[in-house]
């Protein structure tokens, strides 16, 4: 199959919208109409209401032979879809309809629905990496500890009423209840010595650049750099965390002395007792967890001007010496 350069070259596009996402229900007619108008050959539209329904729908879309899959939903929905089409050659289009929309932020996809549709129609296709935790896909960040409690504290009502502000409120609530934990990080490639840590607030493994409503994984993180950014944050008095939280926005927090930051292509996280793992906002794995990266696994449409995945193709070659 020849590699699609722009979405208008697709033979057949399927649109899958998660009606439960923050803006999903309202987006249905609007999105399909906007895509049609922009010249995207939409030939199937599916609305899903649950994860189980999403899995079956994606199987159908693949069986039907569409070569472009436009997914409307939050980060969890998009990551799941990316995992399902990884390696199939199907191209992914993203309509950010969730609360945080961190993948869209990383890839510079507009938040406005009509603009996002136009960006799909006229965008370029780039390759991005896919993270896996025990085989389950994530695009932004996988984490254990505080973020899992935050996700559990984020009721759909809170997300609907407050949007991205809900994360801050849920974080403070969870912080008050958090029990520090201990973990061991092992590096199967042998690029780091095993790390045994106590008194942890959170361990996170980042593939993309943004998570949690606009926080930055690290100053150097990219979604196409074939590297996982791993960080462990030690628990501290709340005032220290307020400082760390400010640094979270731009990623400079990795320089804080209560934060360990490493990069690797794979890492194993072991905790006693086992702990749940949050993958892009969905609790979808449990420790011990093996985190790996699938290089260039997903073809995704981004706006022509996007620099979110610039290590694509020839531009990834080293600069000749000056």
Residues 118 and 241 occupy one common structural domain: no
The CATH number for 248's domain is 2.60.200.40
pLDDT in tens, the chain (322 residues): 446 777 778 899 999 998 877 676 777 788 889 898 888 999 999 999 877 899 999 999 999 999 999 999 988 899 999 999 999 999 999 999 887 788 888 889 998 888 999 999 989 999 999 999 999 999 988 999 877 777 777 767 777 777 766 667 777 777 777 788 999 999 999 999 999 999 998 898 988 776 565 566 655 567 777 889 898 888 877 777 666 666 555 555 555 677 888 899 999 999 989 999 999 888 889 999 999 999 999 999 999 988 776 654 433 333 344 4
| Residue 45, token pair as written in the block | 């539209």
The CATH number for 112's domain is 3.40.50.10330
Q: Which residue has the tokens 């996280």?
A: 269
| Predicted local confidence at residue 59, as pLDDT | 95
| Predicted local confidence at residue 63, as pLDDT | 96
Residue 282 annotated in active site: yes
Q: Is residue 62 part of a domain?
A: yes
Q: In a 3-state reduction of DSSP, which class is residue 7?
A: helix
Residues 79 and 105 occupy one common structural domain: yes
232: which residues sit within 8 A by CB, 6+ positions away? 183, 185, 195, 197, 200, 202, 203, 259, 260
Number of C-beta neighbours around residue 85 at 10 A: 23
Of 9, 152, 282, 319, the active-site residue reads 282
> By residue range, what is the domain housing residue 86?
7-128+297-303
Residues 68 and 145 occupy one common structural domain: no
CA 244 from chain center: how many Å?
22
Q: Is residue 193 part of a domain?
A: yes
CB 86 within 8 A of CB 36: no
How many whole angstroms separate alpha carbon 299 and alpha carbon 218? 24
Q: What is the pTM of this model?
A: 0.83
How many whole angstroms separate alpha carbon 318 and alpha carbon 308? 18
How far is CA 258 from each of CA 82, 242, 243, rounded to the nearest angstrom?
34, 13, 11
CB 13 within 8 A of CB 72: no
Q: Is residue 309 part of a domain?
A: no
| Predicted local confidence at residue 251, as pLDDT | 56
CB 149 within 8 A of CB 30: no
| Predicted local confidence at residue 270, as pLDDT | 98
Q: How many structural domains does the chain have?
A: 2
Residues 278 and 165 occupy one common structural domain: yes
Residues 140 and 288 occupy one common structural domain: yes
CB 106 within 8 A of CB 221: no
How many whole angstroms separate alpha carbon 282 and alpha carbon 151? 7
Phi, psi of 146 (to 5 degrees): -55, -45
| Predicted local confidence at residue 231, as pLDDT | 86
């Amino acid at each position: 199959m020849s590699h699609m350069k722009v979405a208008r070259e697709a033979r057949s596009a399927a649109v899958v919208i998660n009606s439960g996402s923050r803006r999903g229900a309202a987006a249905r007619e609007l999105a399909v109409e906007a895509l049609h108008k922009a010249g995207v050959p939409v030939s199937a539209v599916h609305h899903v209401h649950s994860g189980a329904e999403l899995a079956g729908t994606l199987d159908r879309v693949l069986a039907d032979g569409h070569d472009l899959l436009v997914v409307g939903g939050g980060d969890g929905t998009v990551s799941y879809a990316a995992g399902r089409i990884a390696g199939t050659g199907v191209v992914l289009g993203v309509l950010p309809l969730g609360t945080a929309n961190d993948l869209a932020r990383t890839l510079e996809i507009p938040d406005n629905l009509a603009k996002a549709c136009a960006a799909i129609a006229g965008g370029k296709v780039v390759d991005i990496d896919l993270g896996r935790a025990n085989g389950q896909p994530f695009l932004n960040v996988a984490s254990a500890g505080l973020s899992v409690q935050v996700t559990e504290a984020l009721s759909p009502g809170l997300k609907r009423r407050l949007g991205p502000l809900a994360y801050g409120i849920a974080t403070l609530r969870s912080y008050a209840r958090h029990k520090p934990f201990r973990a061991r990080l092992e590096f199967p490639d042998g690029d780091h010595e095993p790390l045994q840590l106590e008194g942890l607030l959170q361990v996170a493994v980042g593939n993309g650049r943004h998570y949690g409503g606009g926080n930055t994984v690290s100053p150097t993180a990219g979604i196409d750099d074939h590297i996982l950014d791993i960080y462990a944050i030690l628990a501290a008095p709340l005032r220290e965390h307020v400082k760390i939280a400010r640094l979270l926005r731009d990623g400079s927090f990795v320089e804080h002395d209560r934060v360990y930051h490493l990069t690797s292509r794979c890492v194993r996280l072991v905790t006693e007792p086992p702990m749940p793992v949050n993958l892009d906002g969905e609790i979808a794995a449990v420790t011990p967890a093996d985190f790996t990266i699938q290089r260039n696994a997903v073809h995704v449409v981004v706006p022509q001007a996007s620099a979110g995945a610039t290590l694509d193709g020839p531009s990834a070659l080293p600069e000749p010496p000056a």
